[in-house]
């Protein structure tokens, strides 16, 4: 079971990319997700250095192509849940920065593990006036059931932004929610910021 | 680790009690009332993995080439397909059950005993079912979260399901087929190889989890519970209000002071107030009327619902034309 979850998480992180220059702010959410994913995975497929685990290069790719299409403030607020209001604006800023660093790093690791899985997109079920949609995709692999990767997007003035990704039914934001609550309970919002910072520094030193 | 945790909980309880609050409910995640024991087993599993299982899996991966490892994985996947079919049948998904049986037939013959997954190429998609999911589909609640020795994350319901699953798993049926001399050795070797094969496929994913998790225990637990819920609904669960375990602040007074909440089971947690999905918009907003239990029941017209929703089995139909 643990195995399936891990596999799902891996596949999830792999398939999560989102971004590209030729994407305007009026691009439909499903088109946006597909274009960004295709573009990023195409680069990864061709780049031997990324496949070999070149971290700096992978992170640069994620920063350039994927990050512009994420709303990290919303993601952090959702993961914080009720504790978000308890944080001061400065604390909120720090939380967003640290959480963003952690996600980028994790995502980059997943990307270097990417091999030739194929991704299929399901038709978007949404009304034109919707401002909050879910784009559904599936990673297909031989000998195992396909893994669903769903992107939750919201419409902003700057175009559609991803605020949650779920892999095999496991939402990134929800999975962090309990851990965040637990840390805040233990040592307050500052304690959580500290824990996130330590985690990031520890990852940095081991890479 | 465990002692530390217990001490901390004790200290927090004392502090809460001193403040005149209700001590336990603020700290115990209703989905995981046995957290201290679970954490202990989790640590044991981690240690076992670090010292034995993972090294074996690494050797396995280093020694065998990719096609062989894929063959082994397919072989084991094939052994599960009949049981997956039985569970789909028990859940009223007749068409999926037929597809699973057909997968088994095709892969066992044309796929050379299951080594080649030719059925997937024929668009006979592999499904993920087990008896725990069947129980969930029948409306049975997961109950408390459990970490099982060696086997890992589970719940009371899924643990019961697991017992049934061992009856449905073909290598464990060997003894009933015939009493030949070495059947126990065969069965155990088969099971062990399957376990190593599975662990080897997780080596990459594991590094991601290690990097992502602040507290691996709760990360794995939360991922497991979400994953199971998603699987029971075959990937399309109804939206669930996210439970907030941040403490009494998340609860309206009447719920927070209710003594029975200390032992409130998982479904109570689900009914507990939740932060609205728009964290920035209205954090902590709580509408008691909006709460509802969201447990799966078999819709009478399940196949029709699936068809209307454009599920994969439609694609299979297309493929067969």
Compare CB distances from B222 to A84, A143, A174 and report the shortest one's residue: A174
B39 within some domain: yes
Same-domain status, B122 and B255: no
Compare CB distances from B125 to A5, A146, A185 and report the shortest one's residue: A146
Enumerate the β-bridge partners of residue A153: A133, A162
CA distance A145 to chain B (A): 5
Same-domain status, B148 and B170: yes
What's residue B178's pLDDT?
61
Of the segments A12-21, A89-98, B166-175, which one has the largest average pLDDT value? A89-98
Residues of chain B with pLDDT > 70: what percent?
64
Which chain A residues have a beta carbon less than 8 Å from that of B224? Answer: 1-2, 5
Name the residue of chain B whose CA is nearest to A83's CA: B246
Same-domain status, B305 and B263: no
What's residue A14's pLDDT?
53
CB atoms within 10 A of CB A150: 22
CA distance B105 to chain A (A): 15
Three-state SS at A168: coil
Q: What is the DSSP letter of B246?
A: S
Name the residue of chain A whose CA is nearest to B122's CA: A142
B12 within some domain: yes
Same-domain status, B111 and B219: yes
Instruction: Give the strand order in the sheet containing A118-121.
Output: A118-121, A132-140, A147-156, A159-167, A170-171
pLDDT digits (tens, 9 = 90+) for A106-156: 888 888 877 777 888 988 888 888 899 999 998 887 667 788 999 999 999
The pLDDT of A2-21, averaged and rounded, is 52
CA distance A162 to chain B (A): 13
Same-domain status, B48 and B178: yes
Q: Are B174 and B187 in contact (CB under 8 A)?
A: yes
Same-domain status, B279 and B171: no
Residues of chain B with pLDDT > 90: what percent?
49
Beta-sheet strands, E only, within A50-158 = 118-121, 132-140, 147-156
Which chain A residues have a beta carbon less than 8 Å from that of B201? Answer: 3, 7
B64 within some domain: yes
* B131 CB-near residues (< 8 Å, 6+ apart): B87, B90, B160, B161, B162, B164, B165, B168
Same-domain status, B158 and B256: no
B242 within some domain: no
Compare CB distances from A169 to B8, B218, B237 and report the shortest one's residue: B237
* B69 CB-near residues (< 8 Å, 6+ apart): B60, B61, B197, B200, B201
pLDDT grade for B240, boundaries at 50, 70 and 90: low
- Report helix angle A172-206 to B216-232, nearest 10: 140
Query: What is the count of structural domains for chain B?
Result: 2
Question: A178 and B231 in contact by Cβ < 8 A?
Answer: no
- pLDDT at A196 exceeding the cut of 80: yes
Cα-only R_g, chain B: 23
B245 within some domain: no
pLDDT digits (tens, 9 = 90+) for B206-238: 888 888 999 999 999 999 999 999 999 998 888
- pLDDT at A73 exceeding the cut of 60: yes
Domain hosting B142: range is 4-235+299-320
* A49 CB-near residues (< 8 Å, 6+ apart): A57
Same-domain status, B162 and B255: no
Q: Does B123 touch chain A (CB under 8 A)?
A: no
Same-domain status, B8 and B67: yes
**How far, in Å, CA of B96 to CA of B124, rounded?**
9
Q: Does B211 touch chain A (CB under 8 A)?
A: yes
CB atoms within 10 A of CB A193: 23
Complex ipTM tops 0.90: no
B273 within some domain: yes
The pLDDT of A169-185, averaged and rounded, is 92
Same-domain status, B304 and B286: no
Of the segments A95-104, A133-142, B263-272, which one has the largest average pLDDT value? A95-104
Beta-sheet strands, E only, within chain B = 145-148, 152-155
Same-domain status, B187 and B42: yes
Q: What is the mean pLDDT of chain B?
A: 73
Which chain B residues have a beta carbon less than 8 Å from that of A195? Answer: 214
Which chain A residues have a beta carbon less than 8 Å from that of B199? Answer: 3
pLDDT digits (tens, 9 = 90+) for B149-200: 999 999 999 999 999 998 888 777 766 666 666 777 888 888 899 999 999 9
Same-domain status, B169 and B284: no
Question: B223 and A175 in contact by Cβ < 8 A?
Answer: yes
The H-or-E segment that residue B12 falls in is helix B2-18
- pLDDT at B239 exceeding the cut of 50: yes
pLDDT digits (tens, 9 = 90+) for A79-88: 999 999 999 9
The pLDDT of B28-52, averaged and rounded, is 95
B102 within some domain: yes
Q: Does B310 touch chain A (CB under 8 A)?
A: yes
B310 within some domain: yes
* Segment among A12-21, A103-112, B26-35 with least mean pLDDT: A12-21
């Amino acid at each position: 079971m643990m195995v399936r979850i891990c596999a799902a998480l891996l596949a999830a992180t792999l398939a999560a990319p989102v971004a590209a220059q030729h994407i305007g702010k009026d691009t439909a959410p499903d088109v946006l997700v597909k274009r960004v994913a295709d573009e990023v995975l195409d680069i990864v497929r061709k780049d031997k250095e990324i496949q070999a685990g070149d971290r700096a290069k992978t992170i640069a790719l994620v920063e350039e192509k994927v990050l512009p299409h994420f709303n990290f403030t919303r993601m952090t607020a959702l993961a914080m849940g009720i504790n978000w209001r308890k944080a001061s604006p400065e604390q909120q800023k720090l939380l967003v920065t640290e959480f963003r660093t952690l996600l980028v790093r994790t995502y980059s690791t997943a990307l270097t593990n990417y091999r030739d899985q194929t991704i299929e997109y399901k038709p978007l079920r949404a009304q034109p006036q919707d401002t909050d949609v879910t784009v559904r995709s599936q990673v297909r692999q031989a000998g195992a059931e396909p893994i669903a990767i769903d992107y939750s997007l919201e419409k902003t003035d700057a175009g559609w932004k991803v605020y949650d990704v779920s892999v095999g039914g496991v939402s990134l934001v929800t999975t962090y929610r309990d851990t965040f609550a637990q840390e805040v309970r233990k040592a307050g919002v500052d304690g959580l910021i500290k824990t996130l910072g330590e985690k990031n520094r520890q990852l940095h030193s081991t890479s | 680790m465990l002692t530390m945790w217990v001490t901390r909980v004790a200290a927090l309880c004392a502090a809460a009690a001193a403040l005149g609050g209700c001590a336990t409910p603020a700290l115990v995640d209703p989905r995981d009332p046995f957290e201290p024991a679970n954490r202990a087993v989790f640590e044991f599993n981690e240690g076992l993995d670090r010292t034995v299982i993972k090294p074996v899996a690494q050797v396995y991966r280093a020694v065998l080439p990719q096609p062989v490892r894929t063959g082994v994985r397919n072989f084991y996947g094939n052994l599960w397909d009949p049981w997956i079919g039985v569970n789909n049948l028990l859940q009223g998904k007749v068409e999926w059950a037929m597809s699973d049986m057909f997968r088994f037939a095709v892969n066992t013959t044309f796929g050379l005993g299951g080594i080649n997954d030719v059925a997937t190429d024929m668009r006979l998609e592999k499904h993920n079912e087990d008896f725990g999911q069947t129980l969930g589909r029948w409306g049975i609640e997961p109950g408390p979260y459990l970490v099982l020795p060696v086997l890992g994350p589970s719940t009371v319901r899924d643990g019961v399901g697991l017992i049934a699953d061992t009856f449905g798993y073909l290598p464990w049926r060997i003894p009933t087929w015939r009493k030949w001399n070495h059947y126990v050795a065969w069965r155990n070797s088969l099971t062990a190889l399957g376990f190593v094969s599975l662990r080897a496929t997780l080596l990459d994913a594991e590094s991601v989890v290690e990097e992502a998790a602040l507290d691996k225990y709760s990360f794995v637990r939360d991922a497991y519970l979400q994953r199971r819920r998603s699987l029971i609904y075959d990937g399309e669960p109804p939206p669930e209000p996210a439970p907030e375990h941040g403490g009494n602040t998340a609860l309206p007074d009447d719920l927070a002071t209710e003594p029975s909440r200390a032992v409130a089971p998982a479904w109570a947690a689900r009914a507990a107030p939740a932060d609205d999905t728009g964290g920035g918009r209205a954090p902590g907003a709580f509408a008691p009327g909006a709460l509802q239990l969201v447990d799966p029941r078999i819709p009478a017209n399940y196949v029709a619902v699936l068809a209307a929703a454009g599920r994969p089995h439609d694609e299979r139909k297309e493929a067969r034309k």
